[in-house]
Chains A and B, each alone.
Chain A
Amino acid sequence: MKLDISPRVLYIHVKLPWHLEVAHKENPMFPTATRQSRTALIAYFLILLVTPTLVTLSKDHWWRYALVLIPLIPVFYMQRLELQNLSRMDELQRKIQLEALVFAYYGTAALVLIYGFLELAGLPKTTMFAAAGALIILRLIGWYITDRKYQ
Chain B
Amino acid sequence: MENRIRELRAIHRWSQAELGEQLNVSRQTINALETGKYDPSLPLAFKISKLFALPIEQIFVPAEQ
Contact = CB atoms under 8 A, between A and B. Distances in A.
Given A149-B37, A150-B37, A93 B32 contact: no
Contacts of A95: 38
Nearest to B28: A23
Contacts, number: 36
A95 B16 CA distance: 20
B24 interface: yes
Interface residues of A, number: 12
Contact of A93 (B29, B37, B40, B44): B29
A4 interface: no
B54 interface: no
A60 interface: no
A90 B24 contact: yes
B38 A92 contact: yes
Interface residues of B, number: 14
A147 B38 CA distance: 12
Nearest to B21: A28
B49 interface: no
Nearest to B25: A90
A84 interface: no
A132 B29 CA distance: 31
A147 B31 CA distance: 12
Interface string A14-31: 000000000100110000
Given A92-B26, A92-B29, A150-B31, 12 more contacts: A23-B26, A23-B28, A26-B28, A90-B26, A90-B29, A91-B29, A91-B41, A93-B28, A93-B29, A95-B38, A150-B32, A151-B28
